[in-house]
Chain A
Amino acid sequence: MLSIDNSTIGYDVEGMKNAIGQINSEVIGAAQQVLLEGADGIERSIKDVWVGASADQFVKNIQDDRRKVSYGLDQAFMVFKDCVNQIIEDMDTVDATIVSDRSGDDL
């Protein structure tokens, strides 16, 4: 495989895809794990000390909030992923047009 050491201009499609995957795991995954631990932990704590319809509603609100925030994180990641894919597409377009085909040109 061709390798260009110390390249400073250009793009590495596989590298970017790997980076997106790692960011998804290390950022979105970590954040959603914190959300899940928090909501479930609070729910357990509530059930230990509070009984009734209000307690049920409070737990529901907490889980709803958690889902909304989790959804927001997923949306943010999707926008980021689309953005990077668009960058790859744009770079492909640029790369394909930097040098034009002169085969049909007269010398």
Chain B
Amino acid sequence: MGISFENYSEDKWGVTIGANLRGAKMTLENLATSYFDEFAKAPETSFTGISEPGVDSLISSINTYITKAQDTINGFNADIILEKGLKGPALEAAQIFLKAVKDIMTAYVSVLIDEKKELAAIKEKYRAASSDISGLVQDDAKSLRDAAKQIRIDDNSGPVSIDSGQH
């Protein structure tokens, strides 16, 4: 006598496994149609990892700090040195120093302006990346649907063959 599967006939196994496969198939199809299709629409929304309206306010914020830095540079005039009472070579050294400070701060303003430009470019980079990812997701969704269909085909191929031991 072979191994006995009295409580698990071929039909029972087939039904059980088939039901599970159908459940898995339905889950995958639901995922494919609901989640991935919705996710593929993401580029249509305003959110791409960075809030697009937020970038505009961020650039405005940087503009404020650029203005503050420029005002500070303009405030570093000759009077700020002269009123200290320095004369002769010390005054000359102070004037050279003040010029150096203004040059450094002007370089800083240039950095802020570059950062502002970079932010505007980053927004576009997110848009482009999002579009690329959307294409990949759509490909993945198609693969997932195909996989789900394949499971259904296997499911219809009949119950799993198991030796019941009743031969």
Contact = CB atoms under 8 A, between A and B. Distances in A.
Interface of A: 8, 11-12, 15-16, 18-19, 22-23, 26-28, 30-31, 34-35, 37-38, 41-42, 45-46, 48-52, 54-55, 58, 61-62, 65, 69, 72-73, 76-77, 79-80, 83-84, 87
Contacts of A73: 101, 104-105
Given A19-B85, A34-B68, A77-B97, A42 B62 contact: yes
B40 interface: no
A49 B53 CA distance: 8
A80 B61 contact: no
B97 A79 contact: yes
Interface residues of B, number: 43
A31 B68 CA distance: 10
Contacts of B58: 42, 45-46, 48-50
20 contacts: A16-B90, A19-B84, A19-B94, A23-B84, A27-B97, A30-B75, A31-B104, A34-B68, A41-B65, A42-B61, A45-B58, A50-B50, A52-B50, A54-B122, A55-B50, A58-B122, A62-B115, A69-B108, A80-B93, A87-B90
Interface of B: 49-51, 53-55, 57-58, 61-62, 64-65, 68-69, 72, 75-76, 80-81, 84-90, 93-94, 96-98, 100-101, 104-105, 107-108, 111-112, 115, 118-119, 122
